[in-house]
Structure 1
Amino acid sequence: MTIDNNFKSNKKIYILISLIFISTFLVAQNNDYGKVSKEELLQDFNSIDSTASAAYLYKYRKTYFNYVSGVGFSLITDVHERIKIYNKEGFEYATQKIRLYKDGNEIEDLNKLKAKTYNLIDDKIEETSLKKDGKFKNEISENINEESFTMPNIKEGSIIEYKYSITSPFIFNVDEFIFQHDIPVNKIEAFFETPEYFVFRMNVKGFLNVMPKREQFNKSLDYTQRVASGGTTNAGAGQGLGRTTQVRGNVKYVSNVISFDLNNIEPLKEEPFVNELSNYRSGVKYELSYTQFPNSSKEFYSRTWEDVVETIYKNPSFGDELRKTNYFKEDLDVIIKNLTDEQEKINTIFSFVKSKVKWDQSYGKYTRKGVKQAYQKGVGNTAEINLMLTAMLDYANLEANPVLVSTRSNGMPLFPTREGYNYIVSSVRINEGIILLDATSQNSLPGVLPIRALNWEGRMMSKNGKSTIINLYPTNKGSIQTFQNITLSGNGTAVGKIRNVYKGHQAMSFRDEYGKDKQKSYLNQLVNNNDGIEINNFEVKNNNELAKLPIESFDFTAESEIDVVSDKIYFSPLLFLATKENPFKQEKREFPIDFSFPFENISTTIINLPEGYRVESIPEAMAIALPNGMGNFSYAINNVGNVLQLKVSKKINYPVVPAEFYPSLKEYYSKMVGKLNEKVVLTKI
């Protein structure tokens, strides 16, 4: 006992000394390129997160304006990063991908790239430089190129280091300064330097306490320009031919520098039910507010939402496309000729668009080929399909308007900007309220948007140029109703039948998972997710009839859910359907809990007990609720003769639960999981 305690004590002291050593080393380390030390290479874990597979030892970024005489301003971003790789899981960081934007002849350029891998071999630092065969170029889209590189000679314990510059003609578009990653960051130095002519607004996101330092410096730039010098060269003709002269000059100006010096940044880790993790990643985004050059008035770039809506609506690939009707009039007139009910019109037009035009999997708020070509070819992007849908609904004398959406992967627009929205859905107003529609998804229904579009709020655009914020989350619950009939045997085997009825978003999710060419993978997943049960007579009804609820049914045999010990049998009444663990394990949480949509799962179970056994004990009934009516759980089991009757109800009434209620939600799930896994005890008679 004494030896064991001494060992534990010494181990604690060793870890403490190691952490102190590492912390001291971090302060003293040399961050200049190429100055990697043996101490860095000897690190076998990170003091911020000992489980990390890799870590940024150092991140440097400086973005600034450069003036070239006779050409103008460009935006330069210098990057220098040093990454420690602790194990094989960290090898992914040996490949870096850099996206470069282009618009016509204007293209961002990656230059001055140099990179090295460092390894400690026989107590000596071995350096391996990046070669040409480790560099790659790829065209992602018509507006995005990608340059990537993969570092050579990667091993567990390696350090990679690289630096490069990006020259951009897009001086009004400053890439976000990202401070938080999926791995820890030991140190960040970041600078944003702008001449006084460009005034930017800073928008901070995430939960880090970011305190920028602001400084001003006096600088100057040389310029060259041509000015008219007057004079004539042909007086006899009565005409003066103007001449220009090249004039050189120097302008003094104030340079504004915002800098960040951050240390010991914890990684942003995945948690269950997060909308899009990058939405909460700490960083800073800059938006150009206005420019004011010498002897000129201010030119404002910051927009109101009214400005944004007007600009988007006036774009020929939006407003003009929305007003086109000739390409569908003849077909639509036949389809809606005898329809008078609004809901019937909506359903019919919605189904017609989905059958007529398939989604090409590309996002966009503007059309690419145009609605007419999409209609004729039978394929289009989100804008072409949903602007077409809106135009048809409007043509049918329904109050329809397009809705700007930022998809989950695109984040939330924090300030008025056209780039903040990348998606379009349609809306139609009826007496009961506004219905949202998205015809890009074959399994969606009116009022049931694809999950990708359920991202807080959208902006509904009306013909008068105004816009209105509209909640994208549904109020109607998606539901699963489960019916089970189970027969137990004395040897610990359970056979039974299950029927699941899906509704709303749960129906759409089921159809997406069990879609065309997915049946085999769905069945494999069903078996694997349910403790390897044996499934027979699997059947799905109404899968392709969207007006009806899909019904899934199958027979099963389960052998791992029941324990037979001597003359007793122990089992959880829900068998493999019982939630086995609480998904919420973190002590605290800063992000909202996003369930995507409100839902209810109700299960009714009949359990036929084996002959020769009686019930010794059953779980007690339970009813618990979340604060503010956010959800509730109930569990009730009864023993009637040789049968157990169980009813379980789980409801979450809000699609998003604020982070402040996380402790309550964690406790709620803990109690629910505990109850679902309580055992029934049977005793042999």
Structure 2
Amino acid sequence: MKIIVVLFSLCFTITTFAQDYKFGKISKKELEEAFNPLDSSANATYLYKYRRTFFEYSEQEGFQLISEIHERIKIYNQEGFSYATNQVSLYKNGNEKEDVSSIKAYTYNLSEGKIEETKLTKQGIFKTEKSKYFNEIKFTMPNIKEGCVIEYKYRIISPFYYNVDEFDFQYGIPIKKLEAKFETPEYFNFKVNTKGFLMVTPKTEQRRDNITFTNKTRTTGNFSNSANTTFSTSKVEFNKSISTYNLTDVPALKEEPYVNNINNYRSSVKYELSYTKFPQSAIKYYSTTWEDVVKTIYEDSRFGDELNKTGYYKEEIDAIIGSISDPMKRMALIFDFVKSRVKWNGYYGKYTSDGVKKAYKEHTGNVAEINLMLTSMLKYAGLSAYPVLVSTRENGVPLFPTREGYNYVIGCVKLSDEYILLDATNKYSVPNVLPYRTLNWQGRVISEKGGSTLVDLYPKEKSKNDIVMMLNLNEGGTIDGGCRITKTKHKALSYRERYNNVDEDDFIEKLENKYNGLEVSEFKVTNDLNLSKPIIESYKFIKESQADIIGDKIYFSPMFFLKTVENPFKLKNREFPVDFGYPSSSTYRIMIKLPDGYKLESIPEKVALALPDNLGSFKYNIIGNDESIQLVVVTEINLPIISSSYYDTLKEYFKQLIEKENEQIVLTKI
């Protein structure tokens, strides 16, 4: 009897905790769950995430890449409602394009103890053209409420069998159960590249499969005009490799400030096509080494051939450089010419789209057209100029040899063993000050013979932000005065991008809102278009409630609205590096005239903090008397990237910096 009870109990336990992931089999337990027991901060959770990617052959289309997607998501609260919208990006190139079919989707809610389902209709599915190269299928699930479960599945059909999307195993919300499969015929050989901090090992197996061909034969009779058509079939058998991934309770990958691209650290697997070997055909290689990758890109007519075209610009370049012999001046003149001549159309790409000649003629082009044109002109002018392959921050870091890893190209000039990096897509960029989107580890310099070498894309020289503020503090806690800010390098580039393209009144309004009610007047910007000089912003201001008045004492931070109030680093542990983008320094010089009738009771002490290995520093130097206070604060970050091994130290450094900037001066009424 005891044995029967134990067995019954065991069966009940298994039944209770077993989960049915068949589409539509939603349980009350899933709908009743109020939070994720392993991550109570999660606004939503993938209850089930499934993807199967495989090759399918048809006699009309040949091999196509098919991906079957099935996802089930629990939404706990309103903050999780964003997961009710799904967007599928579909690549297209010429007449070939990816497409989505068989969309099936439902929202499930509990209503009076019963499961209520709401179907996504065709009217809720939208297809839009996002760009020349991408379409998008977008749908938002109906009847979304707190506590609901949504579920959808669909198929993606792609003619681009050589480009397999990454298998991602980590997202911004937790995953309870993940299954993924990649099936590939023996004709395709893929390299497997993994990244992230989550250990992922597939189960691999080999199976036999076949392709069925239909043959049609037409015959004509000997003594009549009648014809007969007969059909027959034949099969070709092949081996198929299957890799299966099974994961449970995958933690969320949470973002934090100063991450260049969270996808660089997302646990994932990338299948990169190495070569194809079809029956009775020679092996076709795609990418196995960086040499192969560079050779493939350089020999593409949309890259190497475009560099060699010179006739369309010769006369104008000859007139521009004239008798100028200094290489730096030649480089600067050509760089400025391209920036003013051709406007970037917003498209990335290492390959030209319509060609450099058309871009030159029509004054607009993509990244490759502008920067390959620039490189060609620099070479024509006798400079050692080369194209540089880049992966933008948005695209991630190409850790392994891959043609898809690079999505951008810039130019460079080699002078005295130094590479000077140039990007003419941004009209405010200057030599060695690249747009922020390109500051992503290393670029690959390509020589004429197809060889390559790596070059650091991060700048070595600091971008500076110097603030001088002179102000009066009155006995009511209001401050008024003037502020002058000088910016160089990337700080100046960023400012020009924000200021030069907007209405000045809107810009001032955002400045006032940034500092929570600052009243700005006599606003002025100097050198907004003179790229050879630092940009200077100046204005007068008034701001109320900048001191606490308690009895006969006044308390205030001498940095006022400029002080740092929140530590950007909040995670207990961090596995990925801290990416500041570029080295920088900020200097604050603040002169404060104190109100009459008060004396200085206490003032913060001077302090100097230093990060290890000269990574950065903070200096706080203050002097004062009953009439005025002078404060100088200098912060420096000396490297663009700081290893995660310094995270605890960096977090503590910012904690102390914030505490110091928020320390108060105390005045007592005489």
TM over 0.5: yes
- Alpha-carbon shift at residue 222 of structure 1 (Å): 4.6
Q: 1:418-463 CA deviation, whole Å, 9 max, x = no partner?
A: 2221111110112272111111111111110000011111111111
Decide which of 155, 158, 178 is 2:168's aligned counterpart: 178
**Structure 2 counterpart of 1:421, from 401, 406, 410:** 406
Residues 475 and 598 in structure 1, CA contact (< 8 A), matched pair in contact too: yes
Question: Which residue is 1:563 aligned to?
Answer: 548
2:618 to 630, 633, 649: 633
Which is further off, 421-430 or 294-303? 294-303
In the alignment, which residue of structure 1 is the partner of 2:529? 544
Give the unaligned 5+ runs of structure 1: 1-22, 234-243
Counterpart residue type for residue 470 of structure 1: V
Q: How far did residue 292 of structure 1 move?
A: 4.0
The verdict on how the C-alpha distance between 1:432 and 1:192 changes in structure 2, with shifts beyond 3 A counting, is closer
> In the alignment, is residue 260 of structure 1 matched against residue 245 of structure 2?
yes
Residues 564, 180 of structure 1: alpha-carbon distance in 2 compared, 3 angstrom cutoff: same
Select 1:530's aligned residue among 515, 518, 531.
515
Which position in structure 1 is the counterpart of 2:606? 621
Shift of residue 26, structure 1, vs aligned partner: 8.9
In the aligned structure 2, how far is the partner of 1:632 from the partner of 1:394? 42
Query: What is the CA deviation profile of residues 6-65 of structure 1, one whole-angstrom value per residue up to 9, with x for unaligned ones?
Result: xxxxxxxxxxxxxxxxx9999422111111011111122222322322221111111122
1:117 aligns with 2:110: no
- The answer for the alignment partner of 1:207 in structure 2 is 197
Evaluate the alpha carbon distance shift between residue 373 and residue 67 of structure 1 in structure 2; reply closer, same or farther with a 3 A threshold: closer
Where do residues 420-569 of structure 1 align in structure 2 (5 Å cutoff)? 420-431=405-416, 433-569=418-554
Contact 2:585 2:634 in 1 (8 A): yes
Quick one: distance in 2 between partners of 1:332 and 1:297?
46
Separation in 2 of the partners of 1:439 and 1:260?
44
Contact 1:199 1:291 in 2 (8 A): yes
Write the deviation string for residues 452-499 of structure 1: whole angstroms up to 9, x where unpaired.
011111111111221111110000100011111122222222222111
Which is worse superposed, 556-565 or 663-672? Answer: 556-565
> Structure 1 segments of 4 or more deviating over 6 A?
23-26, 225-228, 244-247
The alignment's TM-score, normalised by the length of structure 2, stands at 0.92
1:65 aligns with 2:21: no
Find out whether 1:40 has 2:25 as its counterpart. Answer: no
Q: What does residue 652 of structure 1 align with?
A: 637
8 Å contact from structure 2 (residues 209, 240) kept in 1: no
* 578-587 or 98-107, which deviates more: 98-107
In the alignment, what sits opposite 2:9? none
* Residues 118, 159 of structure 1: 8 Å contact kept: yes
2:149 aligned with 1:149, yes or no? no
The structure-2 alpha-carbon separation of the partners of 1:569 and 1:344, relative to structure 1 and needing over 3 Å to count, comes to same
Separation in 2, partners of 1:383, 1:290: 27
Report how far residue 266 of structure 1 moved: 1.8
Please state if 1:139 is matched with 2:129: yes
* Residue 224 (structure 1) aligns with: 213
Aligned to 1:54: 44
Q: Which moved more, 1:491-500 or 1:192-201?
A: 192-201
Which whole-Å CA distance do the structure 1 matches of 2:598 and 2:95 have between them? Answer: 82
| DSSP 3-state at the match of 2:609 | strand
| Kept in 1: contact 2:394–2:437 (CA 8 A) | yes
Relative to structure 1, the CA distance from residue 355 to residue 70 in structure 2 (aligned partners, 3 Å threshold; closer, same or farther) is: closer
Shift of 1:564: 1.6
Partner of 2:181: 191
Q: What is aligned with 1:578?
A: 563
Task: Give the whole-Å Cα distance in 1 for the aligned partners of 2:356 and 2:203.
Answer: 50
CA deviations over 1:84-142 (Å, ceiling 9, x no partner): 12222322222222223334444333222211111111111111222111122222334
1:348 pairs with one of 333, 336, 342: 333
| Preserved contact between residue 531 and residue 560 of structure 1 (Cα < 8 Å) | no
The total of aligned residue pairs comes to: 650
Question: Measured at CA, do residues 195 and 326 of structure 1 come closer, stay the same or move farther in structure 2, by a change above 3 Å?
Answer: closer
| 2:386 corresponds to which of 381, 395, 401 | 401
Alignment of 1:302-321 (within 5 A): 302-321=287-306
Per the alignment, in what secondary structure is the counterpart of residue 303 of structure 2?
A: helix
> Normalising by the residue count of structure 1, what TM-score does the alignment of the two structures yield?
0.90
CA gap of 1:55–1:69, structure 2 versus 1, over 3 A, is: same
- Structure 1 distance, partners of 2:579, 2:103, is 41
CA separation of 1:73 and 1:542: change in aligned 2, threshold 3 A? closer
| The one of 591, 594, 598 aligned to 1:609 | 594
Structure 1 equivalent of residue 10 of structure 2: none
Corresponding position of 2:117: 127
Q: Secondary structure at the match of 1:355?
A: helix
Contact 2:600 2:626 survives alignment (8 Å): no
Deviations 1:487-529 (A, max 9, x none): 2222222222111111111111111121132423321222122
Tell me the amino acid that sits aligned with residue 290 of structure 2: W
2:652 alignment partner, one of 643, 657, 667: 667
Q: Distance in 2 between matches of 1:533 and 1:69?
A: 69
Q: Which amino acid aligns with 2:413?
A: V
Instruction: Give the stretch that moved more between structures: 279-288 or 467-476.
Output: 279-288
Worse-matched range after superposition: 98-107 or 201-210: 98-107
Q: Indicate conservation of the 8 Å contact 2:552/2:669, yes or no.
A: yes
Q: CA shift at 1:74, angstroms?
A: 3.0
Q: 1:409 to 1:554 in 2, by over 3 A?
A: same
Aligned equivalents of 2:527, 2:68: Cα separation in 1: 57
Instruction: Quote the Cα distance in structure 2 between the aligned partners of 1:169 and 1:643.
Output: 73
Conservation of the 8 A alpha-carbon contact between 2:211 and 2:237: no
State whether structure 2 residue 397 is matched by structure 1 residue 392: no
Distance 1:293 1:378, change over 3 A: closer
Which of 368, 384, 388 is residue 353 of structure 2 equivalent to?
368
SS of the residue 1:393 aligns to: helix
Per-residue displacement from partner, 1:534-553 (whole Å, max 9, x unpaired)?
21211111111111111111
CA contact (8 A) 2:598 2:626 kept: no
The alignment's C-alpha RMSD in Å is 2.5
2: distance between equivalents of 1:332 and 1:75?
Answer: 47
CA contact under 8 A between 2:600 and 2:625: conserved in structure 1?
no
State the 1:67 CA deviation.
3.8
Matched-pair contact (CA < 8 Å) for 2:187–2:277? yes
Look up the SS of the partner of 2:130 in the other structure. Answer: strand
Q: Quick check: 1:107–1:169 contact (8 Å CA) kept in 2?
A: yes
Q: Distance in 1 between matches of 2:604 and 2:510?
A: 30
Which of 75, 91, 97 is 2:65 aligned to? 75
Given that 1:70 and 1:224 are in contact with CA atoms closer than 8 Å, whether structure 2 keeps it comes out as no
Q: 1:638-659 CA distances to partner (integer Å, 9 max, x unpaired)?
A: 1256222211110000001111
C-alpha distance in 1, partners of 2:281/2:343? 50
Aligned to 2:87: 97
- Rounded Cα–Cα distance in structure 1 between residues aligned with 2:455 and 2:85: 41
Change (3 A) 1:464 1:198: closer
Instruction: State the Cα deviation string for residues 165-193 of structure 1 (Å, max 9, x = none).
Output: 22333322221111111222111011112
Q: Secondary structure at the match of 2:334?
A: helix
The percentage of counterpart residues that share the same residue type is 52
Which residue does the alignment assign to 2:224? none
Q: 2: distance between equivalents of 1:509 and 1:223? A: 59
> What displacement does 1:577 show?
0.8
- The corresponding residue for 1:4 is none
C-alpha displacement of 1:151: 2.0
The amino acid that maps onto 1:420 is: G
